[in-house]
């Protein structure tokens, strides 16, 4: 415990003890420098294979050297478009097959981003033009990244104070079918304020305490994924895709909420109705006690929950009042919450885990770096003009914007919703489709809800996959059909609502007894 005492004294600004014990004999998670002694692991001798490590190291450096030599060839200069397309395809294959290759998609995404910009620099008319493009792209990417970091930190602070128990403690039903609907709609509305990843983690954790391990609990978790993605699609702060569209001026707050609420709720209600008819949710009441209700809520949890949620909701208001980008609003809210938690926990040295520095250590940095890699990669394709060429091709062969938007939903299910959204914004600007046009509204809906059709199609699905140990093919057999039905129903609901709104007067005029004929 000496290493832990020393670390705590260092974090609190107190002088270190004069004598530091030998930390190699401790069993703590890390020493004062947070390093790990692999040799003391019980299975180190079994897993340590020097020859294998050497071969893998050589393979990595060989691949890096081959890539370096390849981009220096004159062929790259004259065939930049082909080189970037091939590099993007290879990088994306590494991301899609992350589980099989055992490589982190965040690392692959970052390597892909840097490599693409290197190729872009080689093929550009001049280095100055490439650097100017990168500077412009970095400014847009940083807006999204700052917003994500701020929002994730606020949610972590609220979660550390058990603020979400205010929501989950009110779920008291024990009937499987009713619980399915209650959890679904609680997740739907909670996700409209939180990001869908955080909402999924919180609700799946809650379901694990409410329901024993079973097939039903897996289905309940799947409902949480569908509801989180649907709930995040109709507000600018509920999903990273709508947030990106909002930050870049493709959609506005009130119009998006008004246009996408009905389609989003339909995309949840249809799967819930279909699942309610299956035998898996038609059983006796659950016998597990409400463990959540028996746990005490952290002190001041209600205050932190109220301020944290207000900070998130205030972001659109801040943007409307000041005209500044949304990330400034989220940073303002984070600053207020930071000062508040420092004030209410002043002098409480044993409660450091409730403060912002500890929350920063728990946010999903890996996921944020993946977004960074994807955004930079797609921006390189945009700078090279590839996305504009793709847009022209789609316009020539698929003139229907509804089909293009629906295709984005299917692409989101296969890979992730961030890349198609980023690519779409690069393909079409506001002169092609103005703000809040039908195209951007459909893109927001399709990218947000389309990821539910496959478990790997959204961050929420991947988190659920890991927490409930659900494999890809179980989700494909048991859930994908329901999710597709909801996706299609919500898409149809959007078209029906908009067409009725536009053509209702002319439709009524054709009715004989109303037309006056």
268-317 confidence digits (pLDDT tens)? 999 999 998 875 665 554 554 444 445 566 667 888 888 988 888 888 78
How far apart CA 232 and CA 421 sit, in angstroms, is 15
Q: Are 446 and 409 in contact (CB under 8 A)?
A: yes
Judge whether residue 20 has pLDDT over 60.
no
**Domain of 268, in residue numbers:** 142-508
* Within a domain: 119: no
**Across 329-345, average pLDDT:** 90
**Across 116-120, average pLDDT:** 90
Judge whether residue 489 has pLDDT over 90.
yes
How far apart CA 8 and CA 2 sit, in angstroms, is 10
* Within a domain: 74: no
* Within a domain: 287: yes
**Across 169-197, average pLDDT:** 84
Whole-structure pTM value: 0.67
Looking at the fold, whether 259 and 402 belong to one and the same domain comes out as yes
Looking at the fold, whether 159 and 16 belong to one and the same domain comes out as no
Cα 220 from chain centroid? Answer: 20
Looking at the fold, whether 37 and 163 belong to one and the same domain comes out as no
DSSP readout, 293-317? Answer: HHSPPPTTHHHHHHHHHHHHHHHHH
pLDDT one-digit tens code per residue, 437-449: 889 999 999 988 9
pLDDT band at 24 (very low <50, low <70, confident <90, very high): very low
pLDDT band at 500 (very low <50, low <70, confident <90, very high): low
Token pair for 260? 């996408």
Q: Are 91 and 84 in contact (CB under 8 A)?
A: no
Judge whether residue 230 has pLDDT over 90.
yes
Looking at the fold, whether 151 and 11 belong to one and the same domain comes out as no
DSSP readout, 362-423? Answer: HS-HHHHHHHHHHHHHHHHHHHTTHHHHHHHHHHHH---HHHHHHHHHHHHHHS-SHHHHHH
> By mean pLDDT, which of 3-7, 335-339, 403-407 is the weakest?
3-7
Judge whether residue 195 has pLDDT over 80.
no
Exposed, middle or buried by CB within 10 Å (0-12, 13-18, 19+), for 494?
buried
* Within a domain: 363: yes
Q: Are 408 and 449 in contact (CB under 8 A)?
A: no
Total tally of structural domains belonging to the chain: 2
The segment with the largest mean pLDDT, out of 123-127, 158-162, 262-266, 348-352, is 262-266
Looking at the fold, whether 263 and 384 belong to one and the same domain comes out as yes
* Within a domain: 62: no
Looking at the fold, whether 339 and 473 belong to one and the same domain comes out as yes
């Amino acid at each position: 415990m000496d290493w832990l005492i020393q670390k705590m004294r260092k974090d609190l600004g107190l002088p270190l003890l004069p004598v530091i014990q030998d930390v190699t004999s401790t069993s703590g998670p890390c020493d004062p420098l947070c390093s790990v002694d692999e040799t003391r692991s019980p299975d180190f001798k079994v897993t340590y294979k020097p020859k294998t490590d050497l071969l893998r190291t050589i393979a990595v450096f060989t691949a890096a050297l081959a890539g370096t030599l390849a981009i220096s060839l004159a062929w790259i200069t004259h065939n930049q478009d082909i080189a970037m397309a091939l590099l993007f395809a290879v990088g994306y294959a590494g991301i899609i097959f992350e589980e099989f290759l055992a490589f982190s998609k965040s690392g692959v995404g970052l390597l892909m981003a840097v490599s693409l910009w290197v190729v872009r620099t080689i093929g550009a008319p001049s280095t100055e033009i490439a650097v100017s493009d990168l500077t412009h792209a970095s400014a847009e990417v940083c807006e999204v990244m700052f917003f994500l970091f701020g929002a994730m930190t606020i949610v972590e602070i609220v979660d550390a104070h058990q603020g979400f128990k205010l929501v989950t403690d009110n779920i008291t039903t024990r009937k499987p079918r009713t619980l399915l609907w209650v959890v679904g709609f609680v997740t739907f509305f909670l996700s409209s304020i939180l990001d869908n990843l955080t909402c999924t983690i919180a609700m799946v954790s809650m379901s694990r305490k409410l329901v024993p391990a079973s097939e039903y609990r897996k289905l309940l978790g799947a409902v949480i994924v569908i509801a989180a993605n649907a709930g995040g699609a109709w507000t600018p702060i509920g999903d990273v895709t709508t947030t990106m569209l909002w930050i870049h001026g493709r959609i506005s707050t009130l119009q998006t909420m008004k246009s996408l609420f009905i389609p989003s709720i339909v995309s949840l209600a249809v799967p819930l109705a279909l699942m309610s008819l299956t035998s898996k949710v038609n059983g006796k009441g659950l016998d597990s006690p409400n463990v959540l209700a028996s746990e005490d809520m952290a002190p001041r949890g209600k205050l932190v929950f109220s301020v944290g949620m207000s900070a998130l909701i205030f972001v659109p208001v801040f943007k409307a009042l000041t005209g500044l980008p949304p990330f400034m609003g989220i940073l303002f809210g984070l600053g207020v919450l930071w000062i508040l938690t420092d004030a209410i926990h002043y002098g409480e040295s044993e409660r450091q885990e409730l403060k912002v520095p500890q929350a920063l250590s728990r946010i999903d940095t890996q996921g944020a770096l993946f977004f960074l890699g994807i955004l930079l990669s797609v921006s390189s394709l945009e700078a090279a003009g590839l996305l504009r060429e793709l847009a022209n091709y789609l316009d020539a062969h698929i003139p229907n914007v509804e089909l293009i938007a629906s295709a984005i939903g299917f692409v989101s299910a296969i890979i992730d919703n961030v890349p198609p959204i980023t690519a779409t914004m690069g393909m079409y600007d506001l002169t092609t489709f103005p703000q809040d046009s039908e195209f951007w509204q459909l893109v927001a809906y399709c990218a947000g809800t389309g990821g539910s059709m496959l478990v790997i199609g959204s961050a929420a699905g991947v988190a659920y996959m890991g927490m409930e140990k659900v494999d890809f093919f179980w989700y494909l057999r048991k859930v994908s059909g329901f999710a597709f039905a909801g996706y299609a129903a919500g898409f149809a609901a959007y078209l029906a609502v908009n067409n009725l709104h536009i053509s209702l007067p002319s439709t009524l005029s054709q009715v004989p007894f109303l037309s006056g004929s």
